[in-house]
């Protein structure tokens, strides 16, 4: 069952590019979260999307949000990706695709892992989601528009 707008975002704990365990609940009551699932590190579309989030990262921070990217790549792959493109946000390793399945992120053409962004408010409620494999920049635009409309606590 896919997570929808209005649902409480399912909690999870995954390993980051720095080897730390990160849970969604770590942010509850403190920050909104822009949780974006992407197919693979260092591929053209995923690099364009990650760099778009990087280029707007300060705007997300100013809006009281943290950006978190998730793919099935290893923490080591994430570390190399983050270093190569100077990505300042958290990348989490979902090697078994358990969190992807928990959120119901669909595969594209039944093969490629999907690209979906969830905007989760400070109370842990999904306020918006955007699903598009090819509109990389729109993931950032949709997230920012949603965050600016959320009440700041």
Q: What is the pLDDT along the chain (153 residues), one digit of tens a residue?
A: 689 999 999 999 999 999 999 999 999 999 999 999 999 999 888 899 999 999 999 999 999 999 999 999 999 999 999 999 999 999 999 998 999 999 999 876 656 778 899 999 999 999 999 887 677 777 788 888 888 888 765
Contact 78, 91 (CB under 8 A): yes
Provide the 3-class DSSP secondary structure of residue 120. strand
- Domain boundaries along the sequence of the chain: 40-149
Total-model pTM: 0.92
Phi, psi of 111 (to 5 degrees): -125, -60
Which sequence positions are flagged as catalytic? 46
Residue-level pLDDT at 109 = 61
Give the helix/strand (H/E) hosting 116.
strand 116-120
CATH 3.40.30.10 for the 40-149 domain, yes or no: yes
How much is the CA Rg of the chain, to the nearest whole Å?
14
Structure tokens at 38: 């992407």
């Amino acid at each position: 069952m896919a997570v929808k707008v209005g649902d409480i975002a399912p909690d999870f704990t995954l390993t980051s590019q720095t080897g730390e365990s990160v849970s969604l609940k770590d942010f509850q009551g403190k920050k909104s979260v822009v949780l974006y699932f992407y197919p693979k590190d260092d591929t053209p579309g995923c690099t364009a999307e990650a760099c778009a989030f990087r280029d707007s990262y300060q705007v997300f921070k100013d809006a009281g949000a943290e950006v978190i990217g998730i793919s099935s790549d290893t923490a080591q792959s994430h570390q190399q990706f983050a270093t190569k493109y100077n990505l300042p946000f958290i990348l989490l390793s979902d090697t078994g695709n358990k969190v992807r399945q928990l959120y119901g992120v669909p595969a594209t053409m039944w093969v490629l892992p999907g690209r979906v962004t969830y905007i989760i408010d400070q109370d842990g409620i999904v306020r918006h989601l955007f699903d598009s494999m090819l509109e990389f920049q729109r993931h950032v635009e949709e997230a920012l528009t949603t965050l600016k409309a959320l009440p700041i606590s």
